[in-house]
A and B are shown apart, each in its own frame.
Chain A
Amino acid sequence: MNQAIENAAPELVELRIPARAEWVALARLAAATVANRLRFSIEEIEDVKLAVAEACTAVIQHEGHGEFIQLHCEATRDSLRVRVHDSGRHDIVSDSARMNFDEARIAGLGIFLIRTLMDEVSYDVHPQHGTDLLMVKRLVGAPA
Chain B
Amino acid sequence: MDIKVSVREAPGDCYVVDLSGEIDVYTSPKVKDAIGGLIDRGVYHLVINLEKVRYIDSTGLGVLIGGLKRVREHGGSVNLVCTNPQIRKIFDITGLVKIFGIFDSEDAAMKALV
User: Which residues of A does B touch, CB under 8 Å?
Assistant: 21-22, 24-25, 43, 46, 49-50, 53-54, 56-57, 60-61, 102, 105-107, 109-110, 112-113, 116-117
Extra pairs beyond A21-B26, A24-B24 (12, CB < 8 Å)? A21-B25, A24-B26, A25-B22, A57-B25, A60-B25, A102-B62, A102-B66, A105-B62, A106-B65, A109-B62, A110-B58, A110-B59
State which of B57, B65, B66 has its C-beta within 8 Å of the C-beta of A50.
B57
A106 touching B24 by the CB < 8 A rule?
no
A54 touching B58 by the CB < 8 A rule?
yes
A61 touching B62 by the CB < 8 A rule?
no
Interface SS, B side: helix
State which of A49, A102, A106, A113 has its C-beta within 8 Å of the C-beta of B93.
A113
State which of B25, B66, B94 has its C-beta within 8 Å of the C-beta of A109.
B94
In the complex, the number of residue pairs spanning A and B with C-beta atoms less than 8 Å apart equals 58
Distance to closest chain B CB from A102 (angstroms) = 7
Q: How far is the CA of A107 from the CA of B85 in the complex (A)?
A: 24
User: Which residues of B does A touch, CB under 8 Å?
Assistant: 1, 22, 24-26, 55, 57-59, 61-62, 65-66, 69, 85-86, 89-90, 93-94
Q: How far is the CA of A54 from the CA of B65 in the complex (A)?
A: 17
Q: Which residues of chain A have C-beta atoms less than 8 A from B65's C-beta?
A: 102, 106
A112 and B25 in contact, given A49-B55, A106-B58 (Cβ under 8 angstroms): no
Provide 17 A-B residue pairs closer than 8 Å at the C-beta atoms, listed in order of the A residue: A21-B25, A24-B26, A25-B26, A50-B55, A50-B57, A53-B24, A57-B24, A102-B62, A102-B69, A106-B65, A109-B58, A110-B58, A110-B59, A112-B94, A113-B58, A113-B90, A113-B94
Q: Which residues of chain B have C-beta atoms less than 8 A from A56's C-beta?
A: 25
Q: Which residues of chain A have C-beta atoms less than 8 A from B86's C-beta?
A: 43, 46
A25 touching B58 by the CB < 8 A rule?
no
